[in-house]
């Protein structure tokens, strides 16, 4: 069985087609112009071909992001499927993020999404983002509906578990509509776990 699964002629289909986007912060351009689609894939083999071809997240310049979203969803609040959504956010500031391997955590996040690791809740998961910032990297999982508390919490617990974060490290859930109207640098958290 194992041998058959590794047959190089058979590609393993994913449940969803995923699109990888790259954001580079160029202040002379509009936000949306800095966001570019790289490619999409819908098999395990094609995912690795993409992953091994691109710069690893940890080597990106500060201000860059990778966004991995289901193919029909744009990585922005304005998209119909994100409008009433939110994100689970893991922020690694300089102090708390010491020794954190952003490449490893980003890969774990991506594998969890493309492998439908959120079980029945996977349908509510729209995508994931890594923000590379000098003051501290951020990882997030975007969810399509912030009002379904139980679903939101299940996804958050799984995300934290898959990242292997210690119990005292908290991740926070923010509704996009709160992020849009935020004052200062952080939006109100609806949950922390």
Partner 1 sequence: GKKQYDRTFLLQFQPDCT
Of 108 and 178, which has the nearer Cβ to partner 1?
Answer: 108
Strand order across the beta sheet in which 172-175 lies? 35-43, 13-23, 64-70, 125-132, 136-143, 86-93, 172-175, 191-192
Q: Work out how close the CB of 173 gets to partner 1 at its nearest, in angstroms, rounded to a whole number.
A: 23
Of 12 and 188, which has the nearer Cβ to partner 1?
Answer: 12
**Residue found by looking up tokens 């609806």 in the block:** 190
- The torsion defined by the Cα of 90, 105, 63 and 29, in degrees rounded to 10, comes to -90
Residues that bind partner 1 (CB under 8 A): 6, 12-15, 44-45, 47-48, 51-52, 108, 111-112, 114-117, 119, 122, 162
Of 93 and 119, which has the nearer Cβ to partner 1?
Answer: 119
Q: Work out how close the CB of 26 gets to partner 1 at its nearest, in angstroms, rounded to a whole number.
A: 30
Q: Work out how close the CB of 102 gets to partner 1 at its nearest, in angstroms, rounded to a whole number.
A: 17
Of 23 and 106, which has the nearer Cβ to partner 1?
Answer: 106
By the 10 Å C-beta count (0-12 exposed, 13-18 middle, 19+ buried), 85 is classed as buried
């Amino acid at each position: 069985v194992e041998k058959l699964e590794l047959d190089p002629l058979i590609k393993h289909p994913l449940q969803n087609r995923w699109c990888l986007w790259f954001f580079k912060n160029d202040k002379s351009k509009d936000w949306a112009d800095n966001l570019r689609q790289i490619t999409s894939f819908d098999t395990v083999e094609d995912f690795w071909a993409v992953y091994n071809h691109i710069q690893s997240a940890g080597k990106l310049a500060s201000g860059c992001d990778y966004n991995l979203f289901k193919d029909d969803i744009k990585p922005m609040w304005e998209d119909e499927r994100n409008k009433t959504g939110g994100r689970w956010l893991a922020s690694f500031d300089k102090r708390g993020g010491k020794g954190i391997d952003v490449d490893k955590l980003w890969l774990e996040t991506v594998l969890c999404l493309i492998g439908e690791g959120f079980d029945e809740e996977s349908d509510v998961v729209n995508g994931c983002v890594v923000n590379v910032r000098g003051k501290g990297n951020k990882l997030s999982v975007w969810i399509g509906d912030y009002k379904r508390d139980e679903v939101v919490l299940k996804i958050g617990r799984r995300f934290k578990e898959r990242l292997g974060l210690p119990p005292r490290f908290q991740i926070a859930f923010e509704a996009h509509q709160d992020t849009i109207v935020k004052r200062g640098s952080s939006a109100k958290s609806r949950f922390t776990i």
